[in-house]
Amino acid sequence: MKELNTYIEKNKDRFINELLDFLKIPSVSADSKYKSDVERASQWVKKALLQAGADTVEIFPTKLHPIVYGEKIVDKKLPTILAYGHYDVQPPDPLNLWNSPPFEPVIKDGKIYARGSCDDKGQVYMHIKALEMLLKTGKLPCNVKFLIEGEEEVGSASLGDFVKKNKKKLEADVILISDTDIIDNKIPSITVGLRGIAGIEIEVTGPNRDLHSGVYGGGVANPITVLCEMIASLKDKKGHITIPGFYKDVKVLSAKERKELNKAPFKLNAYKKDLGITDITGEKGYTTLERTSTRPTVELNGIWGGYQGEGSKTIIPSKAFAKVTMRLVPDQEPEKMLELFAKHFKKIAPPYVSVKVTLGHGGDPVLLDTSSAGYLAASKAMHESFSKKPIPTRSGGSIPIVALFKKELRTDSVLMGFGLNSDNIHSPNEHYGIFNYLKGIETIALFHHHFATLSK
Ligand code: BES
Ligand code: MN
Ligand code: MN
């Protein structure tokens, strides 16, 4: 639609500047020292929604971070789109690897650099600007609801309760989410699968205090070494996870499904070059695309213990720690997998240490239907805005609430994200292309149009 492009062209500088303002708020959900900033970000979202033309916006406090809910109801008889996203971000560390401070956004080579620029503030703001644009051009063809949370990056626990208690409020015909990526700016795609997740924290204790490593070394177990051995044993030489029963609930893909999935463009050399690695690895018998989307894995997210300051300190530390997450695929269940992990990890602990396993957050894997009205509307919208039909892809990341939306609200989600996997989400120098940002606003507006038409 021509009006949309004209509106974007006229307003793009303001669209960008408003986003930069949003990105300045360090809404890190994992770290309590940012609690008031997270709260400030929720207020910012409320104000932005009202300015864009929402009728009502409410902020719901939770045990942790607030949930923002807003709506624009045009006519109860029209279809309703619920846009979900998150205004919280991952911790910005390690700070010294950023070329510019994470919460002082800068534009360089057509990209906005800041924590949250792509994941997910930039993508959330596309939805808010799409609403503004549809209202200002008189083209809003349906009702819209917004559900923007502040705990996605820590597992969405509060939102789970909120959804269960507010089913009526959240009633919609489709849930539209921009928190994923496309293959390339020239190869649009729509995500139809997400892996589930289950997090664990581990504490290994050896001697009751740090010991002089000369006086005791060689005679007492070192908890760091033991933890490393235990972790390393979780994968065998073929890249299989060794936890008994780990693959029991994994739905096996047919040869046809695998063939279809591997049609998605993937260039190994470019992949290696982008990551600065000389080779890849992973489970034998599967392609990189499969390893990172349709196969489950166990990843070590952090490991620490002992002396880390300047110079040397010769000790056998008393304790060692690790943070681990499993990525799960249909039909693995987080709770069940956490139990399996804990049982196995305690079993392989040698007698000379004690192991404490704390089970954390979880989220179910997701598989979406390419024949739903939502998918078709997204496909049409992307086809129009990118001049190319999007490819359905399965992603390896997780958005814990999506499975719960289906279970509790019985509503299908559409994962129409606009990031690139080179955007450094969760990493230093996260960025989001201005092309992607503006294309997202355009495509979301087109989605509204196509979804409303298809639902007639
Ligand atoms: N937006 C991501 C998930 C994502 C990224 C999906 C790229 C597909 C492509 C989301 O914010 C995220 O990072 N989720 C966490 C969930 C966890 C902390 C509970 C994840 O996947 O690690
Ligand atoms: Mn995200
Ligand atoms: Mn994230």
> Which of 124, 109, 97, 108 shows the shortest CA–CA distance to 42?
124
Task: Name the DSSP letter for residue 253.
Answer: P
Residue 417 CA, ligand 1 centroid: distance in Å: 12
- Position 152 in a domain: yes
What span, in angstroms and rounded, lies between the C-alpha atoms of 453 and 258? 33
Task: Examine residue 135 and state whether it is found in any structural domain, yes or no.
Answer: yes
For the CA of 85, the nearest ligand = 2
**For position 311, what pLDDT does the model report?**
97
Q: What is the pLDDT of residue 309?
A: 97
Q: Which of 363, 382, 412 is the last residue of a domain?
A: 363
User: Who lines ligand 1 at CB under 6 A?
Assistant: 119-120, 152-153, 155, 179-181, 197, 361, 363, 395, 397-400
Buried b (16+ CB within 10 A) or exposed e, 16-27: bebbeebbebbb
The number of C-alpha atoms within 13 Å of 244 and in the hemisphere containing its C-beta is: 6
Domain that residue 331 falls in: 196-250+296-363
Q: What is the pLDDT of residue 456?
A: 82
Name 451's Cβ contacts closer than 8 Å, sequence gap at least 6: 79, 81, 142, 173, 174, 373, 374, 377
What residues contact residue 167 under an 8 Å CB cut-off, 6+ apart?
Answer: 408, 409
For ligand 1, atom 20: residue with the closest CA? 398
Say whether both 152 and 231 belong to one domain: no
Q: Read off the CATH number of the domain in which 354 is found.
A: 3.30.70.360
Q: How far is the CA of 398 from the centre of ligand 1 (A)?
A: 4
Same domain, 189 and 238: no
- For residue 134, report the distance from its CA to the centre of ligand 2, in Å: 25
Structure tokens, 444: 């979301």
Query: Which residue, 81, 264, 296, is CA-closest to 181?
Result: 264
Give the per-residue pLDDT at 310: 97
Q: What is the dihedral of CA 274, 277, 283, 287, to 10 degrees?
A: 40
Based on the domain organization, do 36 and 92 belong to the same domain?
yes
The answer on 101 and 210 residing in a single domain is no
Q: Are residues 353 and 370 in the same domain?
A: no
Cα distance between residue 456 and residue 454, in whole Å: 6
Among all ligands shown, which has an atom nearest to the Cα of 120?
2
Nearest bound ligand to CA 194?
1
Return the structure tokens found at 262.
């591997």
Are 425 and 443 contained in the same domain? yes
Question: Which one of 347, 363, 379 terminates a domain?
Answer: 363
The pLDDT, as a whole number, for residue 145 is 98
7 assigned to some structural domain: yes
Distances from the Cα of 68 to the Cα of 41, 64, 390, 405, angstroms: 10, 13, 31, 16
| 357 and 382 share one domain | no
Q: Is residue 262 part of a domain?
A: no
**CATH number of the domain that residue 154 is part of:** 3.40.630.10
Show which of 348, 363, 378 is a domain's final residue. Answer: 363
The helix, strand and coil proportions of the chain, stated in percent and rounded to the nearest 5, come to 35, 25, 40
* One-letter-per-residue 3-state SS of 276-302: CCCCCCCCCCCCHHHHCCCCCEEEEEE
Let me know if residue 288 belongs to a domain. Answer: no
The answer to whether residue 57 sits within a structural domain is yes
The tokens describing 156, both together, are: 């969405």
pLDDT 10s digits, 35-91: 999 999 999 999 999 999 999 999 999 999 999 999 999 999 999 999 999 999 999
Mutate to test the pocket of ligand 1, among 152, 299, 359, 414 (most ligand atoms within 8 A of CB): 152
173 is catalytic: no
Q: Is 161 a residue of the active site?
A: no
CB of 199 closer than 8 Å to CB of 361: yes
* 112 in any annotated domain: yes
The per-residue pLDDT string of the chain (456 residues; one tens digit each, 9 = 90 and over) reads: 789 999 999 999 999 999 999 999 999 999 999 999 999 999 999 999 999 999 999 999 999 999 999 999 999 999 999 999 999 999 999 999 999 999 999 999 999 999 999 999 999 999 999 999 999 999 999 999 999 999 999 999 999 999 999 999 999 999 999 999 999 999 999 999 999 999 999 999 999 999 999 999 999 999 999 999 999 999 999 999 999 999 999 999 999 999 999 999 999 999 999 999 999 999 999 999 999 999 999 999 999 999 999 999 999 999 999 999 999 999 999 999 999 999 999 999 999 999 999 999 899 999 999 999 999 999 999 999 999 999 999 999 999 999 999 999 999 999 999 999 999 999 999 999 999 999 999 999 999 999 999 998
What pLDDT does 1 receive?
79
Interstrand relation of 189-194 and 391-394 (parallel, antiparallel or unpaired): parallel
User: Does a structural domain hold residue 284?
Assistant: no
pTM for the model stands at 0.95
Token couple for 175: 């849930």
Give the model's pLDDT for residue 434: 98
* pLDDT, tens only, 241-298: 999 999 999 999 999 999 999 999 999 999 999 999 999 999 999 999 999 999 999 9
C-alpha distances out from residue 397 to 91, 131, 196, 197, 230, Å:
17, 27, 8, 9, 25
Beta carbons of 106 and 168 less than 8 angstroms apart:
no
Distance between first and last Cα of the chain: 20
- What does the pLDDT read at residue 361? 85
State the DSSP string of 18-29: HHHHHHTS--BT
Which residues keep their CB under 5 angstroms from ion ligand 2?
Answer: 119-120, 179
What does DSSP assign to residue 65? S
Q: What is the DSSP letter of 406?
A: I
